[in-house]
Homo-oligomer: A and B are copies of this chain.
Amino acid sequence: MDLRKLKYFEAVAEEKHIGRAAKLLHISQPPLTRQIHQLEEELDVVLFNRTPKGMELTDAGELFRQEVKNIFALIDQATERTQKAGRGELGRLDIATFGSGILDSIPQVLLAFKKAYPEVSIVLHQMDKGEQIKALRQKRISLGFNRILSPLPDIRSELVTTEALLLAVNTSDSMANMTHVPFDSLRDKPLILYPTSNRPSFVDKIYRLCQLSGFSPVVSQEVGDAVTAVALVASGFGSCIVPESATVLSLPGVIYKPFINAPDESSVDLSCIYRKGDNSPLLKAFLKIVIHYRMQNSKQVVTR
């Protein structure tokens, strides 16, 4: 079977005339006659009745014509879909997020991507950093969102946004009516912290900042994610340090305060990580959106 023959068949079926069909196909009549004969021989079916006026489809030919139409439609569809997939406009993207990272920035990036590439289905997975790296290597995911990174030979990363750290305090706290909180006022204040999972972690960062300010934090409670932490702040368990994006959690009894006199690097990055060799167009498309988001975001910061 040969698509050329099918195309030729379609033309003859349409024109009911070998000569005219040949002209339409920009070939001469004899080769077309031959191709039609070969097709009939291959199928072992008479597709046309030859009359002195031209070619007339048999019932079997009529049926075959429909089938051929479907075949070409399917081929066109296959081509189109494959090309879309090749441009990263169609497919499935498995993305990992960490516990409370799914606040503010990540949804915004995902939304922007969804808008630009509506035919890509995004599947989200909850994973901590260690799991993300494992899943990346096993190709179970193509992307992971993370905060604190250590360089790895087979993993690349792209910065999404940089967020200031804020202190979430209870409204009954003595610091509640300050506009800015000096970082070292955290000395002796009970802090809600997170367990250290995979180093380097967000907790490590907080410990280092305290160390730079010359004290060790007093841990009142360890919780798994920022949402729980803020909830505990609301009920008076203590304060906690959160990235700026956590302010979307507006719980009664909680207010967020910026630091003053904080050591350098009192901000935290949000990055996405991916396999080094991955040249999938889906990944490229996503990174393009990430970079666009970062640009737009930093511009906003500048113009503020």
Contact = CB atoms under 8 A, between A and B. Distances in A.
Contacts of A78: 64, 67-68, 70-71
A280 interface: yes
Nearest to A40: B86
Contacts of A2: 2-4
Contacts of A75: 1, 71
A15 B171 CA distance: 66
A20 to B, nearest CB: 23
A287 to B, nearest CB: 15
Contacts of A81: 63, 67
Given A59-B91, A67-B77, A71-B71, A86 B46 contact: yes
A256 to B, nearest CB: 42
Size bracket, chain A contacts: 35 or more
Contacts of A68: 78
Nearest to A45: B86
Given A60-B281, A70-B74, A85 B3 contact: no
Contacts of A49: 279
A82 interface: yes
5 closest Cβ pairs, A-B complex:
A45-B86, A67-B78, A60-B85, A60-B86, A64-B82
